[in-house]
């Protein structure tokens, strides 16, 4: 009997490749008409620019295995993410660094002076922060919090930062130097031909039948085992209720030349309804000058409804309690394993997704060789 893998994103594609290379037969399903899941890229018909269809995806990692793996299936070009932000009518550099601090306060502080300056603004009366807002105020004080976090966080999560857990902001969101590289990982890049080409290359292996445009629910076949990378609550027909997600709406527009001069511009003020504008030709600096026109996306965040693409798991107390009940049900269901961001209801960067899928496939191949039961989860999702 062959294996079934539901979902042709990184999680499903990596498992399919590993099983196929070991000589197993696999049916890989995705209800979408394309592979690559939420990392799907394709060229914009009007401008020719490579567009990240479900929001921009920047590959960054400290995990050598994940970096080696992605480089095996495509050329990764150098790309450094340098985010800009509009706040209160001015442009700043993010994450907050020495340039941001000096521009915002009109100062010329050096690192140690800036450290003392920010420490003096931090709210020392908050000794045990209970919310995101209290955490931010205790770390950076009211001015930077209001300018860069309050409105943006409210727009992104749809609730006041006073209602979000303090744990969201566990590190000081400030750098006391001029490093504006958004990510601090040693390896960072963009696939020359987009992520979809990478997944297509992963799937070029004997033994994989890829069926696009078909949902698991419509398949009538018995399998040796199912690896499910769709939403865990959906597998159980939402019988215990729906896990909450934030979704995104993308408002596309085309302009001549260069619209904003950079890939990502955050809009921090609450009065601006979108969270950011992304200009996708700047995600491919090696080819951006080829295009005379440009395509941009205004990004709006809201609570996901039943028919929306689930993006960010909310994971508040209520959702976690519901997740626990789905985990119990999954563990009592033989023949299926849950993987990936939707199967485990966690936000996962691509490198973590790759590394977890590689570890899961190592384990499955060991079990296939030596016997044993394939686990329901390869990482604890709770
Ligand atoms: C807005 C946004 C921006 C991001 N930016 C970055 C970034 O910059 N850098 C980074 O490293 N990571 C980023 N990520 C994370 C990245 O998207 C994930 O790591 C990756 O998509 C996870 O892959 P996956 O295979 O687990 O899931 P997915 O890519 O979601 O794939 C799951 C697939 O399963 C299919 N499916 C689901 N249910 C069924 C069913 N019942 N039947 C058939 N098919 C089904 C879906 O159609 C989908 O194609 C971002 C995520 C979001 C939401």
101-122 residue pLDDT tens: 999 999 999 999 999 999 999 9
Active site residue 175: yes
303-328 pLDDT, tens per residue?
999 999 999 999 888 899 999 999 99
| Domain CATH code at residue 209 | 3.40.50.720
Beta bridge partners of 27: 4, 209
Name the closest-CA residue to atom 1, ligand 1: 55
Our CA angle for 164, 101, 113, nearest 5°, is 110
Residue 358 lies in a domain: yes
Q: Is residue 273 part of a domain?
A: no
Residues 380, 234 within the same domain: yes
Q: Are 74 and 201 in contact (CB under 8 A)?
A: yes
Euclidean distance between CA atoms 50 and 41, whole angstroms: 7
Asked if the structure places residue 211 within a domain, the reply is yes
19 & 126 share domain: no
Q: Which of 131, 150, 171 is the last residue of a domain?
A: 171
Angle between helices 132-144 and 111-121 (to 10 degrees): 120
Whether residue 153 sits in one domain with residue 90: yes
Give the residue from 128, 154, 171 where a domain finishes.
Answer: 171
Single pTM value for the model: 0.96
For residue 43, the model assigns a pLDDT of 98
Q: Which domain holds residue 382?
A: 1-35+203-238+313-382
Ligand 1 mean position, distance from CA 289 (Å):
30
In a domain, 254, yes or no: no
Q: Is 246 a catalytic residue?
A: yes
Q: Identify whether residues 105 and 216 lie together within a single domain.
A: no
Nearest-CA residue for atom 21 of ligand 1: 38
* Cα 313 to ligand 1 centre (Å): 12
- Size (the chain), residues: 382
The token pair that represents 291 in the structure block? 């295009």
| Mean pLDDT over the full length of the chain | 96
Task: Tell me, yes or no, whether 153 and 21 share the same domain.
Answer: no
Are 91 and 21 members of one domain? Answer: no
Question: Is residue 172's pLDDT more than 80?
Answer: no
96 and 19 part of one domain = no
Is residue 127 a part of any domain in this protein?
yes
**C-beta atoms surrounding 307 within 10 Å:** 6
Give all strands (DSSP E) within the chain, no chain letters. 3-6, 26-30, 41-43, 50-52, 59-61, 76-78, 83-87, 90-94, 187-191, 208-212, 226-228, 245-256, 264-267, 276-279, 293-303, 312-313, 336-338
Q: Is the backbone of residue 151 left (phi > 0), alpha (psi -120 to 50) or beta?
A: alpha
Residues 156 and 7 in one domain: no
* 349 noted as active-site residue: yes
Catalytic annotation, pick one of 30, 133, 200, 299: 299
Do 140 and 8 share a structural domain? no
pLDDT average, residue stretch 165-191: 92
Residue labelled with tokens 């696939």: 191
Cross-strand bridge partners of residue 83: 94
How many folded domains does the chain comprise?
A: 2
Amino acid 3: pLDDT: 98
If asked whether residues 99 and 163 sit together in one domain, one would say yes
Query: Out of 77-86, 160-169, 237-246, 336-345, which region has the weakest mean confidence (pLDDT)?
Result: 160-169
| Atom 53, ligand 1: residue with shortest CA distance | 311
Q: Which two tokens stand for residue 79?
A: 């790309």
320 and 234 housed in the same domain: yes
Instruction: Flag whether pLDDT at 1 surpasses 90.
Output: no
Q: Are residues 87 and 166 in the same domain?
A: yes
Look up residue 21 and give its two tokens. Answer: 């290379």
């Amino acid at each position: 009997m062959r294996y079934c893998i539901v979902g042709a994103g990184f999680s499903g594609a990596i498992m399919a490749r590993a099983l196929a290379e070991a000589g197993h037969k696999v049916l890989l399903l995705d209800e979408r008409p394309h592979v690559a899941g939420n990392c799907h890229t394709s060229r914009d018909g009007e401008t020719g620019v490579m567009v990240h269809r479900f929001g921009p995806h920047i590959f960054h990692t400290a995990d050598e295995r994940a970096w080696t793996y992605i480089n095996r299936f495509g050329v990764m070009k150098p790309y450094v993410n340098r985010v800009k932000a509009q706040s209160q009518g001015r442009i700043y550099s993010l994450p907050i660094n020495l340039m941001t601090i000096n521009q915002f306060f009109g100062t010329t502080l050096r690192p140690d002076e800036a450290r003392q300056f920010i420490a003096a603004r931090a709210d020392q009366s908050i000794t045990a922060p209970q919310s995101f807002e209290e955490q931010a105020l205790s770390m950076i004080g009211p001015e930077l919090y209001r300018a860069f976090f309050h409105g943006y966080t409210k727009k992104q999560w749809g609730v006041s930062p006073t209602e979000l857990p303090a744990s969201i902001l566990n590190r000081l969101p400030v750098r006391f130097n001029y490093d504006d590289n958004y990510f601090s990982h040693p390896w960072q890049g963009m696939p020359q031909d987009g992520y979809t080409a990478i997944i297509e290359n992963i799937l070029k292996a004997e033994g994989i039948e890829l069926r696009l445009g078909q949902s698991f629910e419509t398949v009538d076949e018995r399998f040796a085992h199912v690896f499910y990378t769709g939403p865990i609550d959906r597998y159980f027909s939402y019988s215990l209720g729906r896990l909450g997600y934030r979704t995104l709406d993308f408002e596309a527009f085309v302009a001549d030349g260069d619209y904003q001069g950079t890939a990502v511009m955050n809009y921090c003020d609450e009065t601006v309804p979108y969270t950011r504008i992304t200009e996708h030709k700047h995600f491919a600096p090696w080819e951006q000058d080829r295009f005379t026109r440009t395509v941009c996306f205004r990004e709006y965040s809201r609570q996901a409804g039943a028919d929306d693409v689930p993006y960010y798991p909310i994971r508040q107390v209520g959702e976690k309690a519901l997740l626990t009940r789905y985990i119990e049900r999954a563990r009592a269901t033989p023949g299926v394993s849950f993987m990936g961001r939707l199967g485990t209801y966690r936000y996962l960067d691509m490198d973590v997704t790759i590394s977890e899928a590689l570890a899961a496939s190592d384990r499955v191949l060991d079990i296939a060789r030596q016997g044993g039961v394939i686990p329901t989860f390869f990482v604890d999702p709770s």
